[in-house]
Structures are given as C-alpha cells and as structure tokens.
Amino acid sequence: MKKLYSNDNVAMVWHVKNMLEQQGIDVLVKNDKLYSIAGEVPITECMPEVWVRNALHYRYAEQLIAEMESSEQEMAPAWQCNSCGEQVEGSFGVCWNCQGNIDSEGETTL
Ligand SMILES: [Zn+2]
C-alpha cells in the first residue's frame, strides 16, 4: 500500500477515492473519521488520506489526480488585468475594477 493523496477537506478525499474507483483502482481512505480528536493530535497526523492498495496503480492514480486538479483550474483560471493589475476571478471575463476585458492581455492566443 502506498499513500497517494491527502487533503484536510474530507469531501475532496472522498471525491478522489470515488474518481479512482471508477477507473478501477483499488483505494482505501484513512483518517476520515478522526475529526473528533483533531484537536488532540497534530493536524498532519489526522488528515484524511487516500492510499492505493496496489503500488502498480500508483503512477496512474497520481496522473488521474493531476488531471482532475488541472481540469478544475481550467474551469476558473484567475487572470490579471493588464490595465490596472488587479487579480480577477476566472468566472469574470471583465475586470471588476476598471472593466478592462480579459482579451486586453498581451499574450492572448490568436
Ligand atoms: Zn482592471
């Protein structure tokens, strides 16, 4: 068994577990029920973790998680306004500060 992933957000840990199981990877979640004693042990020792039972699946599982994380970022990539330098959330196409358009960034692909 090999530890693959950990996150203090137990919902993310279960999300990863379900996603990997759908891909046929046998995984195990640890520490997801330790919240009641979270104040008594160091947080790093009670973070929910996803373990891969078969080490041969590790690289593939790691790849799937990376893909999952990058696709989540693609949904809402923050961008910096070229006119005023403000950081704008990806869900906005226009700067909240100066109404500058996302396309006014010089490096926009054509
Ligand atoms: Zn702006």
**pTM for this prediction:** 0.58
Q: Are 61 and 93 within one domain?
A: no
Around ion ligand 1, residues with a beta carbon closer than 5 Å are: 81, 83-84, 86, 95, 97-98, 100
Q: How far is the CA of 95 from the centre of ligand 1 (A)?
A: 5
Percent of the chain clearing pLDDT 70 (strictly above): 77
Tally of domains in the chain: 2
**Burial class, 48, CB count within 10 angstroms (exposed 0-12 / middle 13-18 / buried 19+):** buried
Q: How far is the CA of 73 from the centre of ligand 1 (A)?
A: 21
What is the residue range of 98's domain? 76-110
The predicted-structure confidence for 74-92, as pLDDT tens digits, reads as follows 666 788 998 999 998 887 8
Mean pLDDT calculated for residue range 26-55: 76
Q: How far is the CA of 22 from the centre of ligand 1 (A)?
A: 42
The predicted-structure confidence for 1-26, as pLDDT tens digits, reads as follows 999 999 988 889 999 999 999 999 99
Distance CA 1, CA 36 (A): 26
Q: Count Cβ neighbours within 10 Å for each residue of 17-42 and write b for 16 or more, e otherwise.
A: bebbeeeebebebbbbeeeeeeeeee
Q: Report which DSSP code applies to 101.
A: B
Q: Are 46 and 8 within one domain?
A: yes
Q: Are 90 and 70 within one domain?
A: no
